[in-house]
Amino acid sequence: MSTAVRSSILHLSVLCLLATLFFILPEYHSGNIARILIMAVYAMGYNLLFGYTGLLSLGHALFFASGMYGLGLSIDHLGLSAAPAMLVGLFSALAISTIIGFLALRTSGVAFMIVTLMFAQAGYLTILLAGKYTRGDEGFVIKQSDRIIAGIDLSQADNRYFAALILFAIVFIFIGILVNTRFGKTLVAIRENSERARMLGYDIQRHKLIAIIISGSLSGVAGAAYALLFGYAGATFSTVQYSIYPLLWVLLGGAGTTIGPLIGTVFMTYLIDISSEYTSAYMLIAGLVLILLTLFAPQGLAGVLRKKFLPWLP
């Protein structure tokens, strides 16, 4: 069986499993999974830049928040309906990631991390300063009547779950295809040795910029979808914490694997969820598990699977 066939079977099986889970799991968990799927979209966007291109950004919360506020503000202040507001969210993230990418790519390594972090902080402060429109720290709720696309009420648990799953599936398949294209393989070459890739005739800066734009746009779509499905947009989502989350999810799940972001997001969400039932020091447990995983499985869970058992894992 060829790698492409195995990979397609894996991707489809994951999607079938996720669709089945809705009918098996209690409502609490299906709500959790819907949230996880949206965050996994965010993590997949992040993974394209970090896992496949080798660029470590600490400012992705800005892209997530761009999508979220692009959608939220256009509904709240411009009176747009949900579908066009999603597009506003997407294009807000696309525009901001283009500008940030263009500026941040003048740096590399640690400087790139710091510059992206600073831009995200500037974004966070802008949201607070523009409190008249964004309602600052408090954020704002998106009314149930505004969360309807093509007559489907996305505030309903089942609709919300399957909307999250559809978005996840689109991005999951898109990433699966993208990383096997010439562009995707070039990103991997850049991650492995950018100088060597340049010597082979690849325009490194252009590829990195496109990767930032795609990554930022996917993060923005996740932000917009989160606001639409869960009915809230808040400044918390633009804090540094939300820039670090996707890094942790991707590291845990397996950077540079298509399935890793989902695994990492599920693992970390449930680790915190379960440990918080037993102790208020749940972040301590999460931190400890993170340290252990980093020490013993630095390639992440899917990375270990790929290295030891499934070399074809995409």
Partner 1 sequence: MLEVRSIDVAYDKVQVLFNLSLRVERGSILCLVGRNGAGKTTTLKSIMGLIPVRQGSITFDQTVLTTLPPHEIPGSGIAYVPQGRRLFAELSVKQNMDIGLMASGAGQDTYSSVLEMFPKLQERLNQRAETLSGGEQQMLAMARALCMKPEVILLDEPTEGLQPSMIELIRTVILQLKSQNVAIVLVEQHVDTVIAMADSVAFIVHGRNPETISGNELRDNPDRVERYLGVE
Per CB under 8 A, 195 contacts partner 1: yes
Q: How far is the CB of 192 from partner 1 (least distance, A)?
A: 4
Per CB under 8 A, 2 contacts partner 1: no
**Residues 6 or more apart whose Cβ sits within 8 Å of residue 11:** 172, 173, 176, 258
Q: Distance (Å, rounded) from C-alpha 150 to C-alpha 127? A: 30
Closer residue to partner 1 in complex, CB, 189/293: 189
**Residues 6 or more apart whose Cβ sits within 8 Å of residue 163:** 149, 152, 154, 225, 229
Per CB under 8 A, 106 contacts partner 1: no
Q: Distance (Å, rounded) from C-alpha 150 to C-alpha 264? A: 33
Contact 70, 133 (CB under 8 A): no
Q: How far is the CB of 196 from partner 1 (least distance, A)?
A: 5
Closer residue to partner 1 in complex, CB, 138/203: 203
**Residues 6 or more apart whose Cβ sits within 8 Å of residue 194:** 54, 204
Per CB under 8 A, 215 contacts partner 1: no
Q: How far is the CB of 305 from partner 1 (least distance, A)?
A: 15
Per CB under 8 A, 197 contacts partner 1: yes
The half-sphere exposure of 52 on its side-chain side, counting CA atoms within 13 A, is 32
Contact 247, 219 (CB under 8 A): no
Per CB under 8 A, 202 contacts partner 1: yes
Per CB under 8 A, 204 contacts partner 1: yes
Per CB under 8 A, 200 contacts partner 1: yes
Q: How far is the CB of 173 from partner 1 (least distance, A)?
A: 22
Q: Could you tell me whether strands 148-149 and 152-153 are parallel, antiparallel, or unpaired per DSSP bridges?
A: antiparallel
Residues between 290 and 309 that touch partner 1 (CB under 8 A): none
Q: Distance (Å, rounded) from C-alpha 180 to C-alpha 9? A: 15
Q: How far is the CB of 9 from partner 1 (least distance, A)?
A: 19
Q: Distance (Å, rounded) from C-alpha 130 to C-alpha 207? A: 34
Closer residue to partner 1 in complex, CB, 80/188: 188
Per CB under 8 A, 198 contacts partner 1: yes
- How many residues touch partner 1 under the rule CB under 8 A: the total is 18
Q: How many residues does the chain have?
A: 314
**DSSP code of 140?**
E
Residues between 167 and 186 that touch partner 1 (CB under 8 A): 182, 185-186
In the list 58, 179, 189, 222, the residue contacting partner 1 (rule: CB under 8 A) is: 189
Query: Can you tell me which residue has the tokens 């999508």?
Result: 67
Closer residue to partner 1 in complex, CB, 53/219: 53
In the list 193, 241, 279, 294, the residue contacting partner 1 (rule: CB under 8 A) is: 193
Residues that bind partner 1 (CB under 8 A): 182, 185-186, 188-189, 192-193, 195-204, 311
